[in-house]
Copies of this chain bind each other. A is one copy, B any other.
Amino acid sequence: MNGLQEKGIPRDVVLKELKTRLGKDLTYDSGRILGSMCTSPHPFAKQVYAHFFEKNLGDPGLFTANAEIEREAVQMLGSLLSHPKAVGHIVSGGTEANILAMWMARNLHNNRCNEIVAPESVHLSFEKAADLLNLKLVKVKLDDNFRMDLEDASRKLSDKTCALVGVAGTTGLGVVDPIAELSELSLTHNVTLHVDAAFGGFVLPFLRELGYDVPDFDFTQLGVSSMTIDAHKMGLAPIPAGGILFRDESMMKAVSKRVSYLAGGETEQTTLVGTRPGASCLAVWALLKHMGRQGYRNIIKRCMQMTLKLASGIEQIDGLRLVTRPTLNIVGIKSEGSSTELLAQTLRRRGWAIALFPGHIRIVVMPHVTAAHIDVFLEDLNDAVKKLKSRKGT
């Protein structure tokens, strides 16, 4: 019965089956999803997206206003990263963005080099990029603060390097690599520097406005050639809405393909994908306009308050400790007595969707996480730790 059936089924029957079956899925508003970098999109962004399903930016000549609005959305993202003249696209996600950046770096160096130098904390998408692009991913060790170690980075840069990657908000702990120093290094060694701010790009600018001490991490640093910033993470846009920004047009050209046969006429395509949803760009644009800096700042402020509440709660639990003070709305938890992996398994059995990294549990305090959710989690966490301890004791 798995094939496509001869006769169709009425809409209401299909929708009912879908809703019943999808009841098994977790939801963000249950408060149980504590380890994801995605969240429930903003209602306004969903409303906008749902209006414009027919738009296809793979053929921008048909949808010229949509394409213009995408450029404005990119400029707004650029302004968030201190470079309103940035060029780029709203893409399928951080992975496409990071691949595009690595592809650009490789092609700009005319394939003469074959290494990406990146911190151990770099996202999986760089492993994909390296495999795809036939590049070697050379990993740099982290310093005591879980940031890319500059001395080791220096040592690993060579004639073979085509791209240096820094992360502004690592996947595991949300820490920010020393981008200013990496920028210097990249200029000295004449390699392309890409900053992966897929998560941090929508957080750090607002933390700075809120008075937090935020290191330089964006296009203010002259070595930075490209940046990833995902609207579908802390930007609250519906998936798919990643973002790739290049400092200038010439960089983007290194990956562009001429498409001559489109219904809307010739175009220069610089995304990995061809056909792509215009609606997702419209949703990003509309949401940025609707929220303004103020709107995002308020959300980030609340997320950070929740993060600090969670962090201090963790510190009060005997047998747990923070891996490091949170930089963003990400908390790393280590078990001191029993194994962290065992604790993670226990929490999952208790219905918590937390993320497990080598040696620590990650909580991402997304906008869907409330103070009440944190209280329930801390209580259950405390109980789980106690039970594990007593079990160990027996």
| Chain A positions near chain B (C-beta within 8 angstroms) | 2-11, 14-15, 17-19, 21-28, 33-41, 44, 46-56, 58-59, 61-66, 68-69, 72, 75-80, 84, 92-96, 99, 103, 107, 111, 124-125, 127-128, 131-134, 171-172, 230, 232-233, 238-240, 242, 257, 259-265, 269, 272-277, 279, 282, 285-286, 288-295, 348, 353-357, 362, 364
Contacts and interface: CB of A to CB of B under 8 A. Distances in A.
Contact of A52 (B22, B26, B65): B22
22 contacts: A2-B75, A2-B79, A4-B79, A5-B289, A6-B294, A11-B47, A15-B286, A21-B68, A22-B52, A25-B62, A25-B64, A26-B62, A46-B53, A92-B96, A93-B274, A95-B275, A127-B257, A132-B132, A132-B272, A239-B276, A239-B277, A263-B364
Contacts of A257: 124, 127-128, 131
A75 B172 contact: no
A290 B357 contact: no
Given A36-B59, A261-B355, A261-B356, 17 more contacts: A5-B292, A8-B292, A8-B294, A22-B65, A34-B263, A35-B263, A36-B262, A39-B54, A49-B50, A56-B239, A92-B92, A93-B274, A124-B269, A124-B274, A133-B133, A239-B276, A262-B355
Contact of A357 (B75, B103, B261): B261
Nearest to A80: B4
Contacts of A132: 99, 103, 132-133, 272
Contact of A93 (B18, B58, B64, B80): B58
Contact of A4 (B27, B92, B293): B293
B8 A290 contact: yes
A76 B233 CA distance: 31
Contact of A273 (B4, B95, B133, B354): B95
A43 to B, nearest CB: 9
A209 B94 CA distance: 42
Contact of A275 (B41, B47, B232): B232
B62 A353 contact: yes
A354 B262 CA distance: 8
Nearest to A9: B289
Contacts of A3: 75-76, 78-79, 84
B240 A355 contact: no
A38 B275 contact: yes
Contacts of A348: 265
A47 B14 CA distance: 12
Contacts of A260: 356-357
A387 to B, nearest CB: 21
Contact of A59 (B8, B38, B47, B58): B38
Given A132-B132, A292-B8, A96 B263 contact: no
Contacts of A125: 274
A354 B264 CA distance: 7
B263 A33 contact: yes
Residue from A62, A79, A111, A276 with most neighbouring chain B CB atoms (10 Å): A62
A29 to B, nearest CB: 9
A234 to B, nearest CB: 13
Contacts of A96: 92, 272-273
A22 B54 CA distance: 12
Nearest to A75: B2
Contacts of A93: 58, 273-276
Q: Please name the 7 residue pairs, one residue from A and one from B, whose CB atoms are nearest each other, closest first.
A: A3-B79, A35-B263, A8-B292, A50-B50, A24-B65, A2-B75, A263-B353
A23 B25 CA distance: 39
